[in-house]
Amino acid sequence: MNINKTIDHTYLKADAGEKEIKRICKETLKYGFRSVCINPEWASLAKKELKGKALVVTVIDWPCGAGSINARVFEAKQAKKDGADEIDPVIKIGKLKEGKYAEVLNDLKKLSKILPTKVIIETGFLSEKEIIKASKIVKKSGAICVKTSTGLPPKVEIDKKIKHVKLMRKAVGPKYLVKAAGGIRTLKDVEKMLKAGADIIGTSGSVSIVKK
């Protein structure tokens, strides 16, 4: 397996500027990463820099997933106009925790019609039963992938994240995409996630991982 091709090279810091976005695009092309994962503002620049040689992924309603459906849809449509190939929206965590599954599903269905969608369920906030339920809702929505987390608090230790990936894989079946993200810093971490059932790895430590 070419591990580089599993990596969404991620830069989501609030102080990101043009210099940082150009840098991660160059790194993505140099090391053959799957994509860059950035905030929506930078989609058009990343599209220009990557020249179709890697995917442009933007997060939507990041990191809380608490925006209105209309705002989320607008953001996704704008990301598409700006050149995004995929979107990683945060699931409506609060609605999910309240058991308002129909609302969560309806929201994700709308987003999934706009671009290929990899949904962040933020497993650190969820029980095992909720992780399974969220994963099934994501699959049902038409999204292409279920993703563990934003990488922000609550932090999930690697061993626990492995357990979460396994739960997600079991919930969605063997052919559906699972993305592990948040706190993945070493090659050993990546290998553990892939072994647990992840197909895609989201990390900002991409270069240090593949150079070792």
* pLDDT, tens digit (0-9, with 9 covering 90-100), for 138-163: 999 999 999 999 999 998 999 999 99
For residue 1, the model assigns a pLDDT of 78
For residue 205, the model assigns a pLDDT of 97
23 has pLDDT over 90: yes
Average pLDDT over residues 192-203: 98
* pLDDT, tens digit (0-9, with 9 covering 90-100), for 83-114: 999 999 999 999 999 999 999 999 999 999 99
> Containing domain of residue 179, as a range?
3-211
Residues 6+ apart with CB under 8 A from 50: 25, 28, 29, 36, 56
Tell me which of 47, 92, 118, 147 is the catalytic residue.
147
Closest CA to 139 of 122, 117, 160, 123: 117
212 has pLDDT over 80: no
Confidence of residue 54 (pLDDT cuts 50, 70, 90): very high
How many domains, in total, are found in the chain? 1
Does residue 26 carry a catalytic annotation?
Answer: no
| Cα 7 to Cα 46: distance, rounded to the nearest angstrom | 16
CATH code, domain with 164: 3.20.20.70
131 has pLDDT over 90: yes
For residue 125, the model assigns a pLDDT of 98
> Is there a contact between 25 and 207 (Cβ–Cβ < 8 Å)?
no
Tell me which of 95, 161, 179, 192 is the catalytic residue.
179
Q: What is the share, in percent, of the chain residues with pLDDT greater than 70?
A: 100
- What is the CB-side half-sphere exposure of residue 157 using CA atoms within 13 A? 2
Residue at token pair 């040689």 = 53
Does residue 179 carry a catalytic annotation?
Answer: yes
Closest CA to 142 of 122, 120, 117, 177: 117
| Cα 136 to Cα 93: distance, rounded to the nearest angstrom | 14
Token pair of 193 as six digits:
């996630």
56 has pLDDT over 90: yes
Tell me which of 88, 92, 95, 107 is the catalytic residue.
88
Name the pTM for this structure.
0.97
Does residue 88 carry a catalytic annotation?
Answer: yes
Residue 79 DSSP code:
H
Q: Is the dihedral of CA 46, 22, 66, 164 positive or negative?
A: positive
Across the beta sheet with 118-120, the strand order is 86-89, 55-60, 35-38, 7-11, 200-203, 177-181, 145-147, 118-120
